[in-house]
Each structure stands twice: as structure tokens, then as C-alpha cells.
Amino acid sequence: MGVNLKHSGKEGMALAEVKGFTLWFTGLSGAGKSTLAGMVAENLRQQGRRVEVLDGDEVRQNLSQGLGFSRADRDANIQRIGYVAKLLSRNGVVAITAAISPYRDTREHVRAQIPDFVEVYVHCPLEVCAARDVKGLYQKAMAGEIGQFTGVSDPYEEPLAPEVVVATHRETPTESLAKIMDKLYNLGYVSAP
Amino acid sequence: MGVNLKHSGKEGMALAEVKGFTLWFTGLSGAGKSTLAGMVAENLRQQGRRVEVLDGDEVRQNLSQGLGFSRADRDANIQRIGYVAKLLSRNGVVAITAAISPYRDTREHVRAQIPDFVEVYVHCPLEVCAARDVKGLYQKAMAGEIGQFTGVSDPYEEPLAPEVVVATHRETPTESLAKIMDKLYNLGYVSAP
């Protein structure tokens, strides 16, 4: 389970073989992906795990400058996040991604490349996300000031078989976190729920 | 040195705190970057380290499709490799990069973002690289069939103060490898030279 100590000989070195995985959040803007990603990250770090959160905005800044929000550009961005998540998780790190990742096919394509992949659908009705409007983007999108905005003027394709579904309009963040941690425990990725 | 075992309590888990770092190769096409990157990677894996080689061509494919070889595009590609190397190395992984990375300023910019950064200049005169012509690219570049080719029609700026210099026209690969491993040992990044 999770950790397997291997001693590598004369230097007395020990290598902890911790199994990395990718925790892939998907959902509308404002659904709560980044909040939950941060909470899971904190929890796992307290368990002594190495964790990297690949947040949508930060990753776009670092890997996808110049790309826009067409289907092709969104797909390229998601593929890049998937590539980085793959590199991290195959090296024992927990890679947590928190990009909208609206297209089902694209998420499945990423899943196919990452052996240890856990998809979390952060479900929240559009009206609730728009009412929260954390970044003030829904108001602009509904006024037509932002084009290609997921849920308003661009599609969001719900996952058909995600490992976890959380419903942030009727669960507290702590309840959603517990669902995710339970699943990670049941899948054998963490030693404590 | 390198490894520091920390016990995290009741589950009896142990986390090996292995210090990651970035080993950044730079040099002309055909100088021997990928060969040496592979040799160092093999050596470090035998020491039980987690290692990821970020080779120029593969990374371009995964992170920089659509970018060309203008200064701006090369810089964007190198920044992306630097970002991924940073994420890996701060999570205990040895990130080894093997892209030409011809511009000094850009390499220094990457160095400034990665606390544990070791630059290896793979020196080899242009004539020798062109004579080797591993990928058949020099012939095409010299015939004008490829534009913006480093060393032929595009600049290569030598590092002024790299941690290691290897000279592949007058050292065997094993000698170059030994220089690199000695430096990593002296810097405290590996437990055996």
C-alpha cells in the first residue's frame, strides 16, 4: 500500500517507493475545483506526500501562453497539463489538476496516457456557479464581453464515469473532501482516508 | 546528504526526503547532450534516484507544438522545459534537460527560477558536430534547406560559468560522465560519484 521501503545497499540509502497518481478535477468555472484541490493537497502533504497542484490559470501562464479558448487551443492546453501530470505522477508525486477541461474526449485521451488516474467531477449547476461568480467572469460572459465561456457560450461535457462526483451546491467543502479522500483510500493511493 | 528519512507517525510510513535538482545540458546539435543525459540518468537510477529526461525533441512535441525556431519561440520552449524541470526537481526528482538552449539570457532566466540548478556545457566544435551529423540536419542546414539552425544560421551563446564543461571531441563519453558525476557528488546532490 502506497509506501514500500527499498534499501539500496552500501551507502545505507533508502528509497521510499511512494505510488504517485493524478487527481484530475473537472467542472465549470466557480464549481469549486481549486478550493477542493487545495484542500486535498493540504491533507496529502500532512500525510507526508509530495503534491503538486496544476491550476488552470497558472499552467496556462507557464505552458500555453498565446493559446486561446477555441476547441483546438483548449485541447492543446489540456494535453500539456496531462503531459506534466504524467511526468510527476510516474515519479511518485501526486499531481492535482484543476482546469475546467470541458471536453470528454480530451479528458479520456489524457486518462489513457496516465496509468494512475482519478477523475473528480465537481458538479455544480450553472446558475449556482454564476451566482457565486468568484472571478466576476460570468457577469462579463453573460453580457457578451467574454466569448467562448464554458457553460455560457461554450460547451461543458459532463464525465460519464468519473471515479468521484462531488456536488458543491449541496455539500460542504469538508464533505466533498471526505468523499475524495475515501475514494483515494479505497483505491489504495493513500494510507488514511 | 541527499537522503533524510523522516517517519510520519502512526501508520509507520516513512518518507525519503531526497533532494531533487535540475541538470541542464546545453550545447550544439550533435554535441552529445542526449547521449550524456541518458548515461547520467542510468547511473542515477542505479543509485535509486527518480530521474526524468526532458529531451528537446520530445518536449517540443508535448509542450510546444506550433512553435518554430525564432528567438521568441525558442525562448518560450525553453521556459516551458524550465517550468516542468522546476516542478519535478522541487518534488525530489532529478530533471535532466537536453535541449540546445542556445541563448545565455534564457538559460540564466531558467536558472533563477530553479534553486538546485546544475548547468553542463557540452562543448564540441561546430566542425566536429557537423561531421558527426547524427540526424543528417547539418547537411541540410548547410545546403540552406533548414533555416535558423543553431551554429549554422542561428547563434549559440556559450555559457560563461557553467558548473561543468565537458569536451566531447576529446573525451570519451565515460570520461565526460565521470566529470559530471564528480561535480554532482561534490555539490552534495548524489551519494556516490
pLDDT, tens digit, for every residue of A75-96? 999 999 999 999 999 999 999 9
* Total of domains in chain A: 1
Banded pLDDT at A193 (limits 50, 70, 90): confident
Residue A106 lies in a domain: yes
Q: Structural domain of residue A111, as residue ranges?
A: 20-186
Q: Which residues contact A105 (CB under 8 A, 6 or more apart)?
A: none
Kindly determine whether residue B76 and residue A62, on different chains, have CB atoms separated by under 8 Å. no
Nearest CA in chain B to A47: B8
Q: Write out chain B residues lying below 8 Å of A2, CB-based.
A: 13
ipTM of the complex: 0.88
pLDDT at B17: 57
Q: Which three cell numbers stand for residue A32?
A: 469549486
Q: What is the pTM of this model?
A: 0.89
Residues of B in contact with A185 (CB under 8 A): none
Domain presence at residue B156:
yes
Q: What residues in chain B have per-residue pLDDT under 70? A: 1-17
Alpha helices in A31-158 (DSSP H): 33-46, 56-63, 71-89, 104-113, 126-132, 137-142
> In the structure grid, which three cell numbers stand for residue A141, read together?
460572459
Residue B88 contacts A, CB cutoff 8 Å:
yes
pLDDT in tens, A116-172: 999 999 999 999 999 999 999 999 999 999 999 999 999 999 999 999 999 999 999
Specify if B192 maps to a domain.
no
Closest CA to B74 of B109, B116, B35, B39: B109
Q: A182 falls in which pLDDT band (50, 70, 90)?
A: very high
Which band of pLDDT confidence, cut at 50, 70 and 90, is reported for residue A17? Answer: low
Nearest to B34 by CA among B99, B85, B81: B99
For residue A7, being part of any structural domain is answered with no
Chain B partners within 8 Å of A191 (Cβ): 11, 13
Band of residue A31 on the pLDDT scale cut at 50, 70, 90: very high
- A9 within domain boundaries: no
* pLDDT single digits (tens) B119-131: 999 999 999 999 9
Question: Is A101 noted as a catalytic residue in this protein?
Answer: yes
What residue of B is the nearest CA neighbor of A93?
Answer: B91
| Residues A44/A89, Cβ–Cβ less than 8 Å | no
Say whether residue A61 is in contact with chain B using an 8 A CB cutoff. no
Is residue B193 one of the residues assigned to a domain? no
Angle made by CA atoms B61, B62, B67, in degrees to the nearest 5: 55
How far is Cα B95 from Cα A31, in angstroms, rounded to an integer?
34
CATH classification at residue B12: 3.40.50.300
Is residue A132 assigned to a domain? yes
Distance from CA of A181 to the nearest CA of B (A): 16
Q: Do A8 and B52 touch (CB under 8 A)?
A: no
Paired with B55 in beta bridges are: B98
Query: Is residue A2 in a domain?
Result: no
Three-state DSSP at B21 gives strand
